Amino acid sequence: MAAIVKDLNQGSVVKTMLIFAMPLLGASLIQMLYNTADMIIVGKFVGKNGLGAVSVGGDVLHFLCFVAMGFANAGQVIISQYLGAGMKEKIGRIIGTLFTFLIVTALVLGSVTVIFRNQVLDWINTPPEVRGETEEYVVVCLAGLLFIFGYNVISAILRGMGDSKHPLIFVAIAAVLNVVLDIYFVVVCHWGVFGVALATVISQAVSFIFSIIFLWYHRDEFGFDFKPKSFLIDLEAVKPLLALGFPMLLQSASISFSMLFVNSFINSYGLIAAAMNGIGNKLGMVINIITFSLASAASPMIGQAIGARMYRRVPKILGVSLWINCLISLIIGIFIVIFPMWVFGIFTNDADVLDMALTYVPVMLVLLAGSALRPPLSALINGSGNFKLNLAVGILDGVLMRIGLSVLLGLTCGFGVYGFWYGHALAGLTPFFVGAVYFISGKWKTRKYIIKE
């Protein structure tokens, strides 16, 4: 579990990062299959109404998942810094606190969203043609929110300890099972959007069960005994978790909220625009999964390097992450430009949606630039535990830039739905510029934001 620390002391940073990133990249490719299967199957066998319902309903689910990701990423950074500083005895208390906090959060958020689902669907301008299917999708998926939050917790624990292999196995289980159940529920049983949602919940539940069993069998390595008292929130452990987690949550929430805001305007342009937006968001998510896998590798490495005061390794970690991300985005961009109908045709056969897809290609290229440049600099901010800068980036990216640019281009400049798409894409470059200034300033070398010796 301490492979990163060993390599930081003895080996090449470049080699260490690639070794750690490869399982994450494999997990990303599997996650890509997981995230695209729903849209492909529903687009081919249910039609544009199904695409619209899954797209709009997915926006609601993703907004809630950002809460889990914010605190899980905070836990990962804290664990990696404690490990790098040789303070392993504190890791068990972080694990128990993280578990309890996010389980309670999942139950509260899921219940509140189900109760106020009609108001939420009204707010995001759900197209009336797919209102019933969207509500059905949201309610079923929220029933499995606990499993999604739980999986994020365990993955963060493992990655913070330097284990990127087992999260790959657990996401593979979920991905394969999700595809099989999607085909069975939608193609064989003809359950439509309900079947897609049910497949998602079951696959997440099975993956979570396998991951919790693994953690239990290796509890001695993590310093966590799974006794009821170990799940009590530890005040000493919760302080750094809240100090880093809330800004990460606010950052993610502000970005997610701004996306919901922008998508609500896009949905108002009709079912075709909503379906196209769902496809574009899904492609963007797939690409981000790949590029952010390197950030997931870089973040704990940076955290451990800072914890061990090996600052000279950080620029090398960032350089490798940037180089690989740019190469991946360039290859994908060339493929989309040359074969746009094939790429978008994976999700739908609807002629109206495909006609709009051709005009969406330039938007995808801007999104690709953000996917290449944003994750490495975000990894620096997260790995250093700079929660104040994280919060500032979230507000600047999510509120000022995404909403501001979208409204400016979409409404003020009269570009309509394309203005909202370009505003969203351009805002994604914000963390890169902020992170670059932070790196050049060198302040990440001189301050510790999380661990106390």
Tens of pLDDT along 181-234? 999 999 999 999 999 999 989 998 998 999 889 988 888 877 788 888 888 887
Only one residue has tokens 């949550």, namely 249
* pLDDT exceeds 90 at position 268: no
Nearest to 203 by CA among 39, 66, 31: 31
Whether the predicted pLDDT of 2 surpasses 90? no
Task: Kindly report, residue by residue over 354-408, the tens digit of the pLDDT.
Answer: 999 999 999 999 999 998 898 888 888 877 877 778 778 878 887 788 899 999 9
| Number of helical H runs and strand E runs in the chain | 19, 0
Q: Which residue has the tokens 């890791």?
A: 91
Distance CA 376, CA 21 (A): 13
Cα–Cα distance for residue pair 34/203, rounded to 1 Å: 10
Instruction: Decide if 46 contacts 233 (C-beta within 8 A).
Output: no
**Candidate from 209-213, 288-292, 311-315 with smallest mean pLDDT:** 288-292
Residue 99 identity (one-letter amino acid): F
Kindly indicate the confidence band of residue 6, based on its pLDDT and cuts at 50, 70 and 90. very low
Predicted pLDDT at 17: 61
Tens-digit pLDDT profile for residues 407-435: 999 999 999 999 999 999 999 898 899 98
Residue 10's pLDDT is: 39
Q: Give Cα separations from 208 to 71, 145, 222, 254 (angstroms).
A: 17, 11, 18, 27
